[in-house]
């Protein structure tokens, strides 16, 4: 975001003094030594909000932040020390959603008329949840008016394109080194989404990942006392659709953690159980590194 002034919330991972360069749209944190064929990506934990966006938004910063997968970057922060690559979007999902295709455009956001007989290609975009979202948490309108196509194209070029270029490069590098790559797309879900479930593992109903890899990831979560479910209500988004290609040595799963485990959802603040979950995620990551993934693919 080098052409934007950003507002760093009090929870921002790396605070920058006034006058210094803004955060890049994506951070890639590689392990210093020892590697596993696993990449952790966090597309929705970014909290560097452009000042101009905040000034023009119909919502307060507090309400905008309810759309974040808050603190996923912190919960998975030990990934590089464990031997895993960590890819982080620093921009907020209400500005650009990297878990959407660049062409998932919401016609209502620009005021475009659509032919009622034209099939809906992207139900997510038509529901207000396109690559540039129209709606935030609780179905509230993010923008005070329409956006022009130039603004949308600018945001995509500034955030979406470099995020996926970095993620694609890390996956290719991992395939070159290990012969295959496993992507874990890290998200959080509102507690009402799956009551009684701590983590939902999405592999697009077996399409985006080899079954034994999904089984191993789920078992590693369960070993930390987390109650799991597969694909309901989240089977995976654009990231798992794009990168989950088992026939081409690329495997992808989405993990949704229940926000009740670590978050005061109304205040978007760490709860008293945050550290407890972080320790469990640390142990989960360590166990992922210890798995013989070649054997799982044999």
Task: Give the CATH number of the domain where residue 145 resides.
Answer: 3.40.630.40
Range of the domain at 205: 6-297
Asked whether the predicted pLDDT for residue 199 surpasses 70, the reply is: yes
pLDDT band at 8 (very low <50, low <70, confident <90, very high): very low
Q: Please tell me the total count of domains within the chain.
A: 1
Q: Is residue 278 part of a domain?
A: yes
Q: Cα torsion at 214, 164, 99, 176 (round to 10°)?
A: -10
Q: Is residue 23 part of a domain?
A: yes
* pLDDT at 116 (0 to 100): 53
* Host H or E run for residue 57: none
Point out which residues pair with 255 in neighbouring strands.
186, 201
Please state, for a pLDDT cut of 90, what percent of the chain lies above it. 83
* Host H or E run for residue 98: none
Helix, strand, coil in percent for the chain, rounding step 5: 35, 20, 45
* pLDDT at 7 (0 to 100): 43
Average pLDDT over residues 187-207: 97
Report the distance separating Cα 79 and Cα 289, nearest Å.
9
Asked whether the predicted pLDDT for residue 230 surpasses 70, the reply is: yes
Q: Is residue 172 part of a domain?
A: yes
Pairing of strands 199-202, 85-89: unpaired
* pLDDT at 293 (0 to 100): 96
Q: Is residue 72 part of a domain?
A: yes
Q: Is residue 1 part of a domain?
A: no
Q: Is 264 exposed, middle or buried (0-12, 13-18, 19+ CB in 10 A)?
A: middle
Write the pLDDT tens digit of every residue in 92-135: 999 999 999 999 999 899 887 665 545 557 889 889 999 999 99
* pLDDT at 115 (0 to 100): 55
Terminal Cα distance for the chain, rounded? 43
């Amino acid at each position: 975001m080098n052409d934007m002034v950003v507002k760093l919330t009090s929870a921002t991972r790396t605070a920058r003094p006034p006058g210094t360069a803004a955060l890049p749209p994506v951070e890639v944190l590689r392990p210093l030594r020892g590697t596993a064929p696993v990449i952790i990506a966090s597309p929705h934990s970014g909290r560097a909000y452009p000042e101009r966006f905040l000034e023009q938004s119909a919502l307060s910063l507090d309400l905008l932040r309810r759309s974040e997968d808050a603190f996923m970057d912190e919960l998975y922060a030990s990934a590089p020390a464990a031997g895993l690559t960590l890819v982080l979007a620093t921009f907020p999902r209400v500005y650009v959603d990297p878990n959407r295709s660049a062409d998932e455009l919401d016609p209502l956001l620009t005021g475009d008329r659509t032919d009622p007989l034209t099939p809906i290609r992207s139900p997510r975009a038509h529901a207000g949840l396109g690559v540039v979202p129209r709606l935030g948490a609780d179905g509230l309108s993010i923008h005070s008016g329409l956006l022009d196509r130039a603004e949308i194209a600018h945001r995509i070029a500034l955030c979406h394109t470099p995020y996926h270029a970095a993620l694609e490069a890390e996956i290719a590098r991992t395939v070159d080194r290990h012969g295959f790559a496993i992507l874990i797309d890290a998200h959080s879900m509102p507690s009402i989404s799956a009551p009684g479930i701590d983590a939902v593992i999405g592999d697009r109903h077996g399409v985006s990942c080899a079954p034994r890899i999904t089984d191993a990831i789920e078992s590693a979560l369960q070993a930390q006392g987390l109650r799991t479910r597969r694909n309901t209500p989240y089977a995976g988004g654009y990231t798992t659709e794009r990168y989950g290609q088992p026939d081409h040595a690329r495997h992808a799963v989405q993990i949704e953690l229940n926000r009740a485990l670590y978050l005061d959802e109304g205040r978007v603040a760490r709860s008293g159980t945050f550290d407890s979950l972080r320790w469990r995620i640390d142990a989960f990551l360590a166990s992922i590194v210890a798995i013989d993934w070649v054997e799982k693919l044999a």
